[in-house]
Chains A and B, each alone.
Chain A
Amino acid sequence: MGPIVTSIRSPMPAVIDGIGFHYAAHETPDADAFADFHVQIGWPPGVRRFIRPTATFRVDETTAFEPLPANQGFPLLEWGMNWCIAAHCDQYLILHSAVVERNGCALLLPAPPGSGKSTLCAALVARGWRLLSDELALIDIDQLVVTPIPRPISLKNAAIDVIRTFWPEAAIGPVVRGTLKGSVAHVRPPASSVERQRESVRARWIVLPKYAEGAPTTLSTITRGTALMRLVDSAFNYTVHGRRGFETLAAVVEGAACCDFRYGGDLDAAVKALETLTSEG
């Protein structure tokens, strides 16, 4: 996926089916090809599988998280791969941000959990924007471009049905209930986005989304300083890069229009507002 090669092994049907459904458009390298990460989603050892079936996440032969109920195997795989990338791929400056592209430029949607980032991302992709990532903005420090890593869009709770209604053609996998984040379902990334996963783009818009139920759609310009501090807060490995991390984010901010964005239930209005923003100049 994108610049990352992951070897995944699992005997769990839900994981195998999830990979088959969500990653159908992705390349599958030879089994002996180099992999950045060797991931296993498996059953617990011994008879525990039959007493309390859980899914364990192991990367490079190390257990990374507490086991989760077996039905959460595919979400665990997605969360685990996010962690692998965020914690290890320091060749990039990595932001907790959705990234979509329109007219050859990237729109960053950095936001903490619960801000409606993924819902907005899915809505934009539904209207033809290219998906670069739902979760991680990989900023190439040398080129100052965003490297795509199109993977399933993670929807939670009410957002699942919201997107089903807004985007009836969306390929949404099974709803997994009872996770730490509530009910979770993933949207398959469009094949067109996967096909273009080697096309990096510069960020031209930084939009800080905030969902508030019933709120009108409002887009307001923020200062570059405010935007930069939000990017700093959303970065996983800013401190790793030190001064260069600051210079990278400052350059990204200098090349982008920066806005706060509030939206409520009207996804059409939200998409329209962002289409207007990205049509200007």
Chain B
Amino acid sequence: MSQVQDPIWRVVAPSALTEREWNDELVVYNDLDGHTHHLAPLGGKVLLALLEHADGLSGTTLIERVGELLAIDDAPVLAPAVEEALDELGKLGLIAPVGA
């Protein structure tokens, strides 16, 4: 995957986020806009994975890491779901591709 096709994703403002993880759900508060989000399990894992890496992760690496968090060793199956989660988190203003 080239850089253009596989952008690096990062959390927009890690220090602005406060989160609570309960079983498979993640609730996150964003101090930048005052919004609170209740994330679906996969979206929560994607965000947690990105929070582990301040410099961001490529989509490919992210899929691997999320696979580890969910104990799913099937990247082709996981990839479209992670892409969807990235899109959703981006719309919420929580993450953005580096350079965007």
Q: A residues near B, CB below 8 A?
A: 223-226, 228-229, 232, 239, 242-243, 246-247, 250, 254
Taking residues whose C-beta sits less than 8 angstroms from the other chain, chain B's interface range is 10 to 19
B interface majority secondary structure: strand
Q: Which residues on the A side are within 8 Å of B26 (C-beta)?
A: 225
Write the nearest CB–CB distance from A70 to chain B, whole angstroms: 41
A-B residue pair count with CB separations less than 8 angstroms: 36
Assuming the contacts A243-B29, A246-B29, A250-B27, asked whether A225 and B38 have C-beta atoms less than 8 A apart, the reply is yes
Assuming the contacts A246-B18, A246-B36, asked whether A228 and B31 have C-beta atoms less than 8 A apart, the reply is no
A interface majority secondary structure: helix
Assembled-state Cα–Cα distance A223/B31 (Å): 23
The answer on a CB contact under 8 Å between B23 and A223 is: yes
Assembled-state Cα–Cα distance A250/B26 (Å): 11
What are 11 A-B contacts with C-beta separation under 8 Å? A225-B20, A225-B25, A228-B27, A228-B36, A229-B27, A229-B36, A239-B34, A243-B18, A243-B29, A246-B29, A250-B27
Assembled-state Cα–Cα distance A254/B21 (Å): 11
Residue of B nearest to A241 (CB): B34
Q: Which residues on the B side are within 8 Å of A254 (C-beta)?
A: 20, 22
The answer on a CB contact under 8 Å between B25 and A224 is: yes
Write the nearest CB–CB distance from A31 to chain B, whole angstroms: 42
